[in-house]
Amino acid sequence: MPEPILFCWSGGKDSAMALYALLQQQLRVAALLTTVTQGYDRISMHGVRRELLARQAASIGLPLHEVLIPPQCVNPIYEARMEQALRCFYEQGVRKVAFGDIFLEDLRAYREENLARMGMTALFPIWKRDTYELIRSFHAQRFRAIAACIDPKVLDATFAGRELDDSFFRDLPPRVDPCGENGEFHTFVFDGPFFRWPIPVRTGEIVHREGFVFCDLIPKMQGTSK
């Protein structure tokens, strides 16, 4: 049996493309690991409801392990709770953890150093891939996603709640990375090649909070298998 891999899952498009790359290699993904902000009950940074995260995992068919962190979480608390979760998987024989990062060298080094202290190694399935090529692949593989959070310092607030279709990328300013790798926008993937059914959502309230613009994504009736 292939070696188990833990996948750090954000619920967004980069995670989805990285997970797809692993599954295409027929590697064994043991579980999805996601940080959830206590009190808000939402995916940290992305602001997506916890219920939608659970529906994603169910449709993908992988176990979900949530790491609960407080709002405005400081690094020592984040690292301690992540380490606690990772040690649980280490005891189950997991030694590799995969991420959807593309080109942020400092973030990669941070992840590798933290894992190395525990005797684990990091995998980056889409590392250094051209982000324009990744978006072409995203559409070719029929992934679908919505912008759940945007940074209004670099992107107009009207992008929040838009689906990532061709018009979304045509409208992006030239300075914005098409994968939002610099934090320009974060997404929620609701369908794709490894989803057994799409996750029905509708857009709700637009909220300005802590320097970001969030579109509340609201679950609709659960879909059925494709």
Q: CATH 3.40.50.620: which residues of the chain?
A: 4-123
Strands 42-43 and 64-69: unpaired
pLDDT of residue 222: 65
What's the pLDDT at 1? 78
Q: Do residues 41 and 17 make contact, with C-beta atoms less than 8 angstroms apart?
A: no
For residues 144 and 189, the answer to whether their CB atoms sit within 8 Å is yes
* CATH assignment, 144-219: 3.90.1490.10
Which residues are CB-contacts of 84 (< 8 A; sequence separation ≥ 6)? 67
Instruction: Name every residue whose Cβ is closer than 8 Å to that of residue 211 and which is 6 or more positions away in sequence.
Output: 151, 152, 153
Domain with CATH 3.90.1490.10 in the chain: 144-219
What is the C-alpha separation between 67 and 81, in angstroms, rounded?
A: 7
Q: Which fold has domain 4-123?
A: Rossmann fold (3.40.50)
In this predicted model, what pLDDT tens digit does every residue of 12-29 receive, in sequence order? 999 999 999 999 999 999
**Chain segment 182-214, per-residue pLDDT in tens:** 999 999 999 999 999 999 999 999 999 989 999
pLDDT along the chain (226 residues), means of 10: 94 97 96 96 95 98 98 95 97 97 96 96 98 96 98 96 96 95 96 97 95 96 56
